[in-house]
Amino acid sequence: QVQLVESGGGSVQAGGSLRLSCAASGRTFSSYVMGWFRQAPGKEREFVARINRSGSTTYYADSVKGRFTISRDNAKNTVYLQMNNLNSEDTAVYYCAAATLSYTESVGSYHHWGQGTQVTVSS
């Protein structure tokens, strides 16, 4: 079992940057694939990025590719999402999640979720 707590959300102007963090409890953090998802008002939760157990492989949604970077520090039990060049379409609640399956972007494949952190981008 792993518990996840996100932080780092806030309000920023278009073109700005934010760095989200997700701290995990437990000793098995490095055994999980970690992902970031987001959910805007009235929309379904959508995949943003994922990273494999060692941190050597990442994958991004087309909408954030080149602007967002996911990384992890297994010694600190933390996964990060660096978000640059933000725009209004990035406004959402951002969630980190843990999965045991590799190479998955499916919401249903992630069985452990944080409570979410709000990101608001104003134009």
User: Quick one: which of 111, 123, 95 has its CA closest to 32?
Assistant: 111
Q: How far apart are CA 116 and CA 111, in angstroms?
A: 15
Tokens 């990035």 sit on residue: 90
Instruction: Please tell me what DSSP assigns to residue 103.
Output: S
pLDDT of residue 7: 98
Residue 123 CA to residue 107 CA, distance in Å, equals 29
Q: What is the pLDDT of residues 29-70, one digit of tens each?
A: 999 999 999 999 999 999 999 999 999 999 999 999 999 999
